[in-house]
Chain A
Amino acid sequence: EDQVTQSPEALRLQEGESSSLNCSYTVSGLRGLFWYRQDPGKGPEFLFTLYSAGEEKEKERLKATLTKKESFLHITAPKPEDSATYLCAVVFYGGSQGNLIFGKGTKLSVKP
């Protein structure tokens, strides 16, 4: 059973068309939730950490929010350079120290 589920698997947007990516998790005792961006063949690039429900973080056109069972990554007026795979990961109490449990990602394509 997947502990971290991301949806949709793929998302195509027109430049300027805002949308949201979802990350839901089934673990209890969340220690932290992380968002990463990954370009093809590259290592994941850290974006945000969220620790408690109600927390929000922003960076340029991206805004991450957290509830008790899911997180959203909102993309406002995206540009083609925002095209990438966005990964969500969690760490929970009782898990193996600090290892991250990743979802399978949402592949975002932004067309000009």
Chain B
Amino acid sequence: DSGVTQTPKHLITATGQRVTLRCSPRSGDLSVYWYQQSLDQGLQFLIQYYNGEERAKGNILERFSAQQFPDLHSELNLSSLELGDSALYFCASSVGETTREQFFGPGTRLTVL
């Protein structure tokens, strides 16, 4: 158990819908990262927050957005969902702003029908 929690574990929804994924980092970690893992693309970095502020963006679509709240938990919002958005979404956390080790949560499996 990494200490990073994610909810829900599974999410099934329809195209065009909007969903919210939630992540709580390890105690003491200030950075939260979101990754997408699909079969053909592997693990892809989406976005990083540090102590409530956006720090880095990767291959994140404009339909996706995230935020980190004062209690340091983070939410990833996915809207206008398409079939291709079906994937595993992982949250990771680390102590600092630039990396040492990142510890991953168990993931949310999103299925868009």
Contacts and interface: CB of A to CB of B under 8 A. Distances in A.
B58 A96 contact: yes
Interface size class of B (residues with CB under 8 A): 20 to 34
Interface residues of A, number: 24
Interface of B: 2, 4, 31, 33, 35, 42-45, 48, 50, 55-58, 88, 90, 92, 94, 96-107, 109
A91 interface: yes
A108 interface: no
Interface in A44-62: 44-46, 49
Contact of B102 (A42, A46, A103, A104): A46
A96 B34 CA distance: 13
Contacts of B55: 97-98
Nearest to B34: A99
